[in-house]
Structure 1
C-alpha cells in the first residue's frame, strides 16, 4: 500500500463516493490511475464492496480499543469533552451515554505505540477523570449499514409511523 492508494481511500471516506472523477478532482491523481487503484484495492480485498467498505486489518489497523470515559460534570461538558475525544487521532466513534460512564469511545489502531499514544491523549484532557479500555479479541459482528440489521417489514412499519 503506497501513499496514492491511501490518499484515494481517504478521499472516498471524505467525499462519500468512489467516483474516479470526484476523487481525481479532490486528490489531483489522474482519473485513470484512480480507477486502476480502486480495482486493485478490490482485488486485494482491502475494499470489500461497491459501497467501499474497508477491511481495516488489511490496512494494518487491526487493534480495536473500546474505552469508557468518566469526565468531570460541568455545564455543556458532554459537548466540550466529546469534541476533544473526537479529535484524537484513531478515534472514529464517540458516544455520550447515560449511567456511570459518560462516554464510550471506539478507536482502530495499528500497534502498541498507537495504543499508548491514545491513552496519553485521553489523559491530557483536563476534564477526564478516569478511563477503562478494553481490547477487542475478536469481532463477532461489525455491520456498517444498520438497515441490514432489520427485516424489511420492520423498517416499513417504522417508517409508516413517521408519515
Structure 2
C-alpha cells in the first residue's frame, strides 16, 4: 500500500490498529498487557507484533512507531495567531489540543502565539485540521507548512546531549565525570 505521496505504508487491519493504540495510549509493550487491553488472543498479539516489526511500523523493543510506514506520513506544522485576552493561551491551547489529529501544541513567545504539529495520512485531513483551527473563535489566522523531509526526530531529548553535559547541567553535584565513567 502507499500513501498520498507514493511512499510505502504497511497494510493494516483493525486488530493491528487496536494493538498500536494500546501501545501508544497505554504505553504497554508486553504482549500479555496488550492482550488484556484489547482482548486479542496472546498468540495473535505475538504474531501481529512480529508482523508490524517486519513491516517497519514498530522499530524496536520499545515499539517506537515509524509514522511513514504507519501511514501518518504528512507532518503539518502550523503557526497560529490568536486574539489576546486574559488567559487566552490556556483557553485557545485547550481548544487546539482537543482537535483530533493534533500531536503537539506549544504556546510560544514572539510573533506567533502557538505552534501546532500534526501527523496525518492524507491531504483531506490537512484541510480538515486547518478548518478546525480556524473554527476556533479566538484564532485570527494560521499559516501551515508541510515537512518535506525529516532530518531528525529524536523522541528522547536526553539522547541529544553528551553524558558530561547532562551531569554538569542537570545535577547539583560536582562529579568528576571521568571517575564516574570508569566505575
- After TM superposition, give the deviation of residue 100 of structure 1 in Å: 1.0
**1:95 counterpart residue number:** 106
Give 1 or 2 for the bigger CA radius of gyration. Answer: 2
Q: Give me the TM-score of the superposition, normalised by structure 2.
A: 0.85
Distance 2:145 2:120 in 1: 13
Q: TM-score, normalised by structure 1?
A: 0.95
* Count of matched residue pairs: 163
Picking from 146, 155, 160, the partner of 1:144 is: 155
Tell me if 1:14 matches 2:15. Answer: no
Runs of 4+ deviating beyond 3 Å:
none
The answer as to 2:140 corresponding to 1:124 is no
Unaligned runs of at least 5 residues, structure 2: 1-11, 175-183
Is 1:59 matched up with 2:97?
Answer: no
Q: Which residue number in structure 1 is paired with residue 96 of structure 2?
A: 85
Alpha-carbon distance between aligned partners in 1 of 2:154 and 2:171, rounded to the nearest angstrom = 24
- Could you say what secondary structure the match of 1:156 adopts? helix
Q: CA deviation at 1:73?
A: 1.1
Q: What's the RMSD between the two structures over aligned residues?
A: 1.4
Contiguous gaps of at least 5 residues in structure 1: none
Secondary structure of 1:52 counterpart? coil
